[in-house]
Amino acid sequence: MADSKRGDVTSQAPRVGDQAGASTRSVHGGQRDRHSGSTLVPPLHQTSTFVFEDSAEVRAYAEGRLERDEYGRYSNPTWREVENKLSDLEGGEATVLFGSGMAAATTTFLALLDKGSHIVVTNDCYRRTRQFIQQVLSKLEVEATVIAPADPIALKDAIRDETVFFFTESPTNPYLRVIDLPEAVRVAHERGVKVLVDSTFATPVNHRALADGADLVMHSGTKYLAGHNDLIAGTVTGSSEEVAPVRALAGVLGGILDPHAAWLFHRGLKTLALRMERHNHNGLAVARFLESQPKVRRVFYPGLESHPDYAVATRLMEGFSGVVTFEIDGDLDDTIRFVDACRLPYIAPSLGGVETLIEMPVLMSYWDYPPEERQSYGITDNLVRLACGVEDPADLIGDLERALGAI
């Protein structure tokens, strides 16, 4: 069947090769050929389904002689634009797009696990991922061993014969622990255990998890990848073989992305490397400023020498992103006074967009936990998570300095 029937991206050679820089790849990566209508920008395929010429074409497709789109829960040419670009950026063969980061993680977990499987996860992680493991995977009698993030010995001890994968964020949330991924991969692969990395806080610009040996890398595309606080999306990237069962289950569970959101996602990705330069710059500048302030007790940022993973982070990462976590030298009320006095950052959950966001985990993500459980995750009353956007660093620092004066 003619190529024009197969959506818009043909299998021709990509426009840019592996050796191109991160900005060039953000703009051109994954782009294979002309789009229909010779548009520069990929068209938005806002459709639920795809039309067959006749029953012979249906049969050719059903028998696997023809590759094309069938129904919008399985594939869409606009998705493919995002998937190809992300595969290029991550250095993977295939990517699956999801309607949220949580859909990406939960679908991937379910695709890989059997009843009674065992997994190893780290304790500093996104709240809903933990909830899924505790409340849903437990129904499949999946057991999870929780270890400290940067502890390869604990990982080695946690692995059993029935362990399927080790899952971790890097950097973690909210303490920004950076995993020595090559070491974790060595320990896990020795026992036939896969390594899954949630690289939302790093992005492929700052860390290439697949190059460091991860089997699958996931993102909340909502954050840095799309980058404009205007959509919710998720991704999973890896080898074609690793990604295939995830794609198959995505078509069953149906946690897919609307084509319009995928189109916006693609536009956002073009400036990923450009935006990360500023996020990295702002994160480091703000972290250094906060560390110099008497009203700030502690700052957690992997680009500061005071961070426990500074050496690992500088070895593995190109930059440390825009999230800075810190403790105000005061109690809950002092911290609230500071946050409410900030003018530039919006008070909101999320991170990774062009607008700076600020939140107190104790009031936002962890408000409904009993205090002892909250403490066990290290969520103190004076903890603040600042997700630096791409504003001018002097304006951000000026605003934070003024707000600290309100304490």
- Spatial separation of the C-alpha atoms in residues 192 and 404, rounded to whole Å: 50
Q: Does 87 bind ligand PLP (CB under 6 A)?
A: no
- Spatial separation of the C-alpha atoms in residues 242 and 106, rounded to whole Å: 15
Closest CA relative to residue 208, chosen from 383, 25, 5: 25
* Strands (DSSP E) found in 149-257: 163-169, 194-198, 216-220, 234-238
Distance in Å, CB of 352 to ligand PLP, minimum: 8
Q: Does 102 bind ligand PLP (CB under 6 A)?
A: yes
Backbone phi, then psi, for 43, in 5-degree steps?
-65, 155
Q: Does 174 bind ligand PLP (CB under 6 A)?
A: no
Closest CA relative to residue 92, chosen from 196, 232, 222: 196
Question: CA-based diameter of the chain, in Å?
Answer: 75
- Spatial separation of the C-alpha atoms in residues 78 and 88, rounded to whole Å: 16
Closest CA relative to residue 323, chosen from 217, 201, 232, 237: 201
Measured from the CB atom, the residue of 31 and 100 that comes closer to ligand PLP is: 100
Distance in Å, CB of 66 to ligand PLP, minimum: 34
Q: Does 234 bind ligand PLP (CB under 6 A)?
A: yes
Q: Does 169 bind ligand PLP (CB under 6 A)?
A: yes
Cβ atoms within 10 Å, residue 240: 11
Give the C-alpha distances (Å, rounded to integers) separating 187 from 17, 31, 106, 239, 309: 32, 36, 24, 20, 19
Distance in Å, CB of 200 to ligand PLP, minimum: 4
- Spatial separation of the C-alpha atoms in residues 81 and 84, rounded to whole Å: 5
Q: Does 232 bind ligand PLP (CB under 6 A)?
A: yes
Measured from the CB atom, the residue of 132 and 310 that comes closer to ligand PLP is: 132
Q: Catalytic residue at 223?
A: yes
Closest CA relative to residue 196, chosen from 205, 183, 207, 185: 185
Measured from the CB atom, the residue of 178 and 336 that comes closer to ligand PLP is: 178
Site string for ligand PLP, 26-65 (x = CB under 6 A): ----------------------------------------
Q: Does 224 bind ligand PLP (CB under 6 A)?
A: no
C-alpha 346 chain-centroid distance = 21
Q: Does 268 bind ligand PLP (CB under 6 A)?
A: no
Among 80, 223, 275, 278, which one carries the catalytic annotation? 223
Q: Does 279 bind ligand PLP (CB under 6 A)?
A: no
Q: Does 173 bind ligand PLP (CB under 6 A)?
A: yes
Site for ligand PLP in 186-215 (CB under 6 A): 198, 200-201
Tokens 């304790």 belong to 123
Q: Catalytic residue at 369?
A: no
Measured from the CB atom, the residue of 68 and 128 that comes closer to ligand PLP is: 128
Closest CA relative to residue 121, chosen from 113, 129, 69: 129
Query: Which residue has the CB atom at the shortest distance from ligand PLP?
Result: 101
Q: Catalytic residue at 310?
A: no
Which amino acid does the sequence have at 144? A
Measured from the CB atom, the residue of 27 and 236 that comes closer to ligand PLP is: 236
Q: Which stretch binds ligand PLP (CB under 6 A): 156-164, 217-225, 276-284, 326-334?
A: 217-225
Measured from the CB atom, the residue of 222 and 321 that comes closer to ligand PLP is: 222
Site for ligand PLP in 120-159 (CB under 6 A): 126
- Spatial separation of the C-alpha atoms in residues 84 and 209, rounded to whole Å: 17
Q: Does 100 bind ligand PLP (CB under 6 A)?
A: yes
Question: Token digits for 205?
Answer: 């610009």
Measured from the CB atom, the residue of 29 and 352 that comes closer to ligand PLP is: 352
Among 69, 198, 309, 381, which one carries the catalytic annotation? 198
Give the C-alpha distances (Å, rounded to integers) separating 5 from 10, 80, 97, 172, 322: 10, 15, 22, 43, 43
How many residues make contact with ligand PLP (CB under 6 A)? 14
Among 61, 126, 224, 377, which one carries the catalytic annotation? 126
Among 73, 127, 297, 337, which one carries the catalytic annotation? 73
Distance in Å, CB of 160 to ligand PLP, minimum: 26
Helix, strand, coil tally for the chain in percent (to 5): 40, 15, 45
Measured from the CB atom, the residue of 323 and 390 that comes closer to ligand PLP is: 323
Chain contacts with ligand PLP (rule: CB under 6 A): 100-102, 126, 169, 173, 198, 200-201, 220, 222-223, 232, 234
Residues that are catalytic? 73, 126, 198, 223
